[in-house]
A = this chain, B = another copy of it.
Amino acid sequence: MVGRKAKRDIPPERDVRERLIVVATELFARKGYATATTREIVAAAGVTKPVLYYYFRSKEGIYLELMQRAFKRFEDVVEASITESGGAEERLLHLCDQVFSLIVEKIDVVRLMYSIYYGPPQGAPFFDFDAVHLKLFESILQIVNEGIRKKEFRRGNADDMTWAILGAMHIIMENEFCHPELELGHGGLERILNLIFRGISIQTARRGKGGKR
């Protein structure tokens, strides 16, 4: 047992590099990029500062790496959805559900993305969040347009319909951040989307102008 140069002894649980990514994500999400310090990160990972600088070169380095990883996963989910079959409602429900699952899985990274995209950059280096948002918008828009073409959806402004659906996604996501005790979650998302599909008003006879604009 003795004698062999210690080499497989070093990583106590997971790889040190991996542990750093995990705790950095958690701390950036909870305290913000600027406020979470490298001291805290290395302390939480059970190592010392130079280890972080050895693996990631800088605070910005570890931030960019954890962002890129999460973005990759998101791209995979969205791109898988564009080959789905079924009606427009069904496909939209499925896409939103899949995206929401990823959001719940990667809740820390999403919080961080969210706060930097909609809030001040907090001194964090640039990351192209618009690309993430645009990717989601366009995949929803595409399904909406197919729904209109197949006469499942009313004729009208497909962008507005996409915004309404994204609004449901966002409100559910924001509740997952700030009021998880409400437990809207997957069920709430489905109910709200169905509400948007059907409308909340009782339809009167005054409809005659079609759905344009």
Contact = CB atoms under 8 A, between A and B. Distances in A.
Contacts of A196: 164, 195-196, 199-200
A35 B175 CA distance: 27
A104 interface: no
The complex is assembled from copies of this chain, and their number is: 2
Interface residues of A, number: 57
A74 to B, nearest CB: 18
B119 A32 contact: yes
A160 interface: yes
A188 interface: yes
B167 A201 contact: no
Interface string A107-126: 00001001111111111000
B171 A166 contact: yes
Interface in A141-170: 144, 147, 151-154, 156-157, 160-161, 163-164, 166-170
23 contacts: A29-B120, A31-B120, A34-B34, A34-B122, A89-B201, A111-B119, A114-B118, A117-B178, A118-B119, A122-B122, A152-B201, A153-B202, A160-B195, A163-B188, A164-B164, A164-B168, A167-B167, A196-B199, A197-B201, A198-B201, A199-B199, A199-B200, A203-B203
User: Which A-B residue pairs are the 5 nearest by beta carbons?
Assistant: A115-B119, A199-B199, A167-B167, A32-B120, A167-B171
